[in-house]
Amino acid sequence: MEGGNLKVVKLGEDPENRDNDVVLETFSAQKPKSQPIHPGSYVHVPKNLPSERRLNELTLECWLRPFNLSGWQGLITQHDYPERSGFGLFVNEDRIAFMTGLGGNFDPASLHQTEPSSIKAQTWHHVAATWDGKKKRIYIDGALAGEFPFTGVVRPGRTALRLGAYGSKGVASSFYNGDLVLCVVHDRALSKDQITKRVADRGLTIPEDESILGCWPFTEERGTRVADAGSDGRDGQIINRGTWMIGGPGFDASAIGRHDTAYDPTKDAKRGHGLRLAADELYNARWEINHGFRVPAKAKSGVYSGRFDFEIDGKPMRYHTTFIVRRPESRPKAPVLVLVSSNTWLAYNSAPFPVNHGPGLLQMGTGGLGNSHPSAPVYSCYSDHHNGQPTYKIGMQVPWPAAGPNKTYINDSYSHLLRGERFLHLWLDKHGYDYDVITDHDLHQNPDVLKDYKAVCINGHSEYWSIPAYDGLDRYLKNGGAAVVMSGNTMFWRVSFADTGEVMECRKFGKNIGGRVHAQVGELYHSHDSRRGSLMRFCGYPAWQLVGLTCIGWSGANFKPYQVDLPDHFLFKGPHPLNLNKGDTFRFTSTGMGAVGHEYDVRLSTILRATKDPARKGLVKPEGITTLASSQDQRNVLDFNAEANTARFGEDQTIAEIIYWERPEG
């Protein structure tokens, strides 16, 4: 990378040309500083076993469900290859390996492993590796899978004790890709009968034994600390977080009904506790700050950016770090508040470290842009982890190219994410409306921020909502507020946030509608609150109860116009009369292309007419709604049950509606 500059800008009135943005500050860097990233989740236990301690016997045991069986993966280790080789339990392809080293240079004679095909991916296995001073034995699911004579000296390596990884030249590496349950280290060899009882227990009982040197049952189900249930206080720290609320080997996550509102994971005694790890997990890049900028006190609330211009191999590149300037507390609120759909921008952040940073418009689909390195994270709400783990969490302190102001979708004529929302901002500016701007996360953190605004504009693709944000908007409306909803696919998926501001969590189910392939209903419960996730309409927070509409599907770029249903309604008469008649089509973005685009919303009554057998019975249709305009097309829809985009039931072809709602609750 050649040198370049950073300009802090306020996005200007030209939606296409970023060179016309207002520059507030300029920084230059003749020799750009490269900062590394360190993906991979595992449990780091700093209080290791003393490296000078000679072990006379040893057992390493755990439950595991691997997602991928490629390469070497650490399970329970105090080993750093090649000069601090202690003990370790590993996955090696489809085999289990057991190391009993001297603590120094790696000795191949200290490593033994089972025959191939000993374990399977996506399958729970109990693994116990024992050494009684004379023989090493590896048990898989209670059966002896390998026995090896070994009488050497065994000492822990002079390195950290790790769960889900091992060291390589002083750095954690060879991360485990899968689920772990109840990891235990003993200073004696368990018998076959003891191991058989462990298998029958399915990881539900924490062992109590004086031989235990460390025991990690993973009962926390949230946070980054892992407590040692043993007496030596070997608590662990989860690096790069991992994923909670998975359950254990005795839990069938697929057996929980999608519409089972009674199931409570915190009261399920047989659910167990699993921790899911992944070699590509990263939520906070932890980069050093190279430049600082203080936003001027008089800066207008709105969308700003750090604009990086640089070259790679002589080719000009441009990268935007978008940020929102909020209204300072000392300044009176504007009449209008505009909510940007930043949760959706984050959900689409499929490649935080992309290779392509074009200076102009850049088309970006759900798969993001090309990855800069094959091992760099690329997972998002639209793609799984490299090794198949379903994506349940998105990092908030990593680069965010999806939030750039020049991103398009499907084709360069379809504005999406921030770029699509900017046209409202520019219209408000042009017509002299005073407004403040906040993000979805701002609303989540302070739902009462809506108080005293005359109207709130929900703009763009406001697809991902948290419960606090939903409840905050509900209270605001009940207290006399007004909402202008100009979003498609509104309030579709539920999200939650870590208190640290590092992670947005979203557990999407239903592969036919964008859910993750390996997600099961029993895994949809969020680690932040233990409450059901996935679709808002199935979590008790349906969009139609709050804004009158709900999503009925999506399609490609065959955009349709609206047609007038009530031409005499006051919204068509003033402040500017539109002179439309009943049945007239209106709102074309270009010749033959209407404003009903990629995703669209309708009333509850409309989606129920398109559904043959709704999964929820006795739904109360909101009162007081007037349909002003609608759009019709013979296309597949997402019915109420949201099983797939399929042919609608009935003859009604409505795909989108414009409504006016004097909500009875406010």
What would the pLDDT profile of 528-572 be if each residue is shown by its tens digit?
999 999 999 999 999 999 999 999 999 877 889 999 999 999 999
Residue 89: predicted pLDDT: 99
- The residue whose two tokens read 């595991």 is 64
Dig out the tokens for 392 from the structure.
């349940």
User: Which pLDDT value is given to residue 31?
Assistant: 81
Same-domain pairing of 47 and 182: yes
pLDDT band at 258 (very low <50, low <70, confident <90, very high): very high
Measured in whole angstroms, the distance separating CA 588 from the mean position of its chain's CA atoms is: 35
User: Of 194, 222, 242, at which residue does a domain stop?
Assistant: 242
The pLDDT of residue 393 is 98
List helix spans (H) across 215-357: 342-347
34: pLDDT strictly greater than 90: no
Same domain, yes or no: 479 and 628: yes
Residue where one domain finishes, among candidates 242, 262, 292? 242
- Residue 566 in contact with residue 627, Cβ under 8 Å? yes
Band (69; pLDDT cuts 50, 70, 90): very high
- What is the pLDDT confidence band of residue 394, given thresholds at 50, 70 and 90? very high
Would you say residue 343 has pLDDT above 90?
Answer: yes
pLDDT over 90 at 306, yes or no: yes
> Which band of pLDDT confidence, cut at 50, 70 and 90, is reported for residue 211?
very high
Work out how many domains the chain is built from and give that number.
2
Residue 30, in any domain of the structure: no
Any idea what the Cα angle at residue 330 is, between residues 329 and 336, rounded to 5°?
65
pLDDT for residue 576 is more than 90: no
Question: What single string gives the DSSP state of each residue in 518-547?
Answer: T--GGG-B-TTT--B-SBGGGTT--HHHHH
Q: Is residue 264 included in any domain, yes or no?
A: no
Band (1; pLDDT cuts 50, 70, 90) = low
Confidence of residue 302 (pLDDT cuts 50, 70, 90): very high
72: CB partners within 8 A, 6+ apart = 90, 91, 92, 97, 174
Q: Are 238 and 334 found together in one domain? A: no
Q: Residue type for 131, please?
A: W
Q: 605 and 499, same structural domain?
A: yes
Q: Are 557 and 411 contacting, i.e. CB atoms less than 8 angstroms apart?
A: yes
Residue 107 has pLDDT above 90, yes or no: yes
Same structural domain, 87 and 204: yes
Q: Indicate the average pLDDT of the chain.
A: 95
* Residues 215, 362 share a domain: no
User: 293 in a domain, yes or no?
Assistant: no
Residue 152: inside a domain, yes or no? yes
List 92's β-bridge partners, or say none: 72, 95
- List all residues 6 or more positions away from 476 whose beta carbon is below 8 Å from its beta carbon: 450, 451, 453, 456, 483
Which domain does 93 fall in, by range?
42-242
Q: Scanning the structure block, which residue is given the tokens 């605004």? A: 453
Q: Are residues 238 and 337 in the same domain?
A: no
Residue 24 predicted with pLDDT over 70: yes
Task: Please indicate, yes or no, if residue 284 is contained in any of the structural domains.
Answer: no
Confidence of residue 30 (pLDDT cuts 50, 70, 90): confident
How many residues comprise the chain?
666
- Confidence band of 414 (pLDDT split at 50, 70, 90): confident
Cα angle: 178, vertex 180, 182; to 5 degrees: 175
Q: Which of 364-368, 443-447, 470-474, 502-506 has the lowest average pLDDT?
A: 364-368
Could you tell me the two tokens for 493? 């998926």
Name the pLDDT band for 594 (thresholds 50, 70, 90).
confident
For range 28-46, the mean pLDDT? 92
Position 587 scores a pLDDT of 79
Residue 171 in domain: yes
Of the candidates 262, 269, 440, which has an alpha carbon nearest to the alpha carbon of residue 340? 440
What share of the chain in percent tops pLDDT 90?
88
Mean pLDDT for the stretch of residues 265-293 = 97
Structure tokens at 622: 């909101």
Tens-digit pLDDT profile for residues 345-358: 999 999 999 987 87
Same domain, yes or no, for 202 and 339?
A: no
Which residue, chain included where needed, has tokens 């008469």? Answer: 573
Within a domain: 423? yes
393 and 490 in one domain? Answer: yes
Q: How far apart are CA 50 and CA 44, in angstroms?
A: 16
Residues 368 and 221 in one domain: no
Give the mean pLDDT of 485-502.
96
Beta bridge partners of 66: 178
pLDDT of residue 82: 97
| Cβ within 8 Å of residue 344, ≥6 positions away | 417, 440, 460, 461, 462, 463, 464
pLDDT at 593: 82
Residue 290, SS3? coil
**Residue 175, domain CATH:** 2.60.120.200
Separation CA 337–CA 438 (nearest Å): 8
Residue 169 within a domain: yes
* 116-143 pLDDT, tens digit each: 999 999 999 999 999 999 999 999 999 9
DSSP secondary structure, 357-418, as one string:
--SS-EE-BTTBSPBSSTTS---BTTB--TTSPPP-EEESBS--GGG-TTEEESEEEEE-HH
Looking at the structure, tell me whether residues 346 and 203 fall in a common domain: no
Q: Is it the case that residue 589 has pLDDT exceeding 80?
A: no
And the tokens for 651?
């003859």
Determine the pLDDT at residue 226. Answer: 98
Out of 242, 272, 288, a domain closes at 242
pLDDT of residue 461 exceeding 70, the answer is: yes
Distances (CA, A) of 396 to 351, 399, 445: 13, 8, 14
